[in-house]
Amino acid sequence: MGHKVLITGVAGFIGSNLLDYLLKETDWIIDGYDNLSTGSIANIQPALSEERFTFVEKDAFEIESLKPYSKIFHLAALPRIQPSFELINDHIKANVLLACHIIELMIKEDHYPRFVYSGSSAIYGTPTQIPTPETERIDCLSPYAFQKYEVERYLELIATRYPIDFITLRYFNPYGPRSFNPANSFNAYSSVVGIFLNRFNEGKPLLVTGDGSQERDFIHVRDLASANYKASIYPKTINTSFNIGFGSTTSILALAQLIGSNYSFIDKREGEADITFADNSKAKAILDWTPTQNLREYILSQLSK
């Protein structure tokens, strides 16, 4: 048997896909924590019978020791831009303090597993460089973006004093299976690909915000899972951040038109960027990671279901 690893937020969209990936591609033993605040047990149902996976339905604040783990994938969060403007304390707790809890445990136990942190391209706001490299200036347009960035900075600062071993993955716009959880009260703010497909299946018009010219770098969740894996096996401590995007863009209007002709326009929302476009060359060169999943093919496969 291989490593013992921890996934926080395992019952969420990305966490559950990462779990499937690791069960398939590795022989690792996996503990997964989730308090089911935005996640769903249905996301991990098939994996529950796997001998190598243990699900702990608990708040990740209750994790008391990291000693068993050689790698931690930290995904638990409240990951929606719009609600972060209102439920500010809840978002600070889930997005900042929870990561700090885990970092403190490392220090307390003097045990520093590879910490793969799920960051976000939201920290670039409206970027000045297109495609956007990791060296872009930070421009947080929402409390959520600011919180994701704060954890990156905590990791860097604490690493000046303790032997923290982290890699931050700044995800661009994830899509793929389970991105839309109908039971999640925040689902109106989940990935636009999932929302559009859900509305299409319900025969409702797709609601395009603004004029739909805003562009997104969509990245399939399987490619995020492989990036997490690659980050977790990188042989040295590098304590750095990587853009995890496909490296091309699609406008929201073009996405709607790919799905169908039944769409209408609603007001633009504050706090959201005009364009996200990853320069992903650093992850390709250092992590030996390449995205392989095609957005158009995924959409067409979903429409023909």
Ligand X SMILES: NC(=O)c1ccc[n+]([C@@H]2O[C@H](COP(=O)([O-])OP(=O)(O)OC[C@H]3O[C@@H](n4cnc5c(N)ncnc54)[C@H](O)[C@@H]3O)[C@@H](O)[C@H]2O)c1
Q: Which residues bind ligand X (CB under 6 A)?
A: 8-9, 11-15, 33-39, 59-61, 75-77, 79, 94, 98, 118, 120, 148, 171, 174, 191
Measured from the CB atom, the residue of 112 and 175 that comes closer to ligand X is 175
Give least dist CB 286 to ligand X, A. Answer: 20
Measured from the CB atom, the residue of 34 and 152 that comes closer to ligand X is 34
Given its phi and psi angles, is residue 85 left (phi above 0), alpha (psi -120 to 50 degrees) or beta? alpha
Give least dist CB 96 to ligand X, A. Answer: 11
Rounded CA separation 117/174 (Å): 15
Phi and psi angles of residue 81, each rounded to the nearest 5 degrees, phi first:
-65, -55
Give least dist CB 152 to ligand X, A. Answer: 12
Give least dist CB 211 to ligand X, A. Answer: 22
Give least dist CB 261 to ligand X, A. Answer: 26
Measured from the CB atom, the residue of 94 and 295 that comes closer to ligand X is 94
Q: CA nearest 134: which of 294, 287, 292, 295?
A: 287
Helix ranges, 98-182 (H) = 98-109, 143-158
CB 221 within 8 A of CB 13: yes
CB 1 within 8 A of CB 29: yes
Residues 6+ apart with CB under 8 A from 173: 121, 191, 192, 193, 216, 217, 218, 219, 245, 276
CB 38 within 8 A of CB 181: yes
Measured from the CB atom, the residue of 181 and 203 that comes closer to ligand X is 181
Measured from the CB atom, the residue of 118 and 132 that comes closer to ligand X is 118
Give least dist CB 114 to ligand X, A. Answer: 17
Measured from the CB atom, the residue of 99 and 304 that comes closer to ligand X is 99
Task: Round to the nearest angstrom and report the end-to-end CA distance of the chain.
Answer: 38
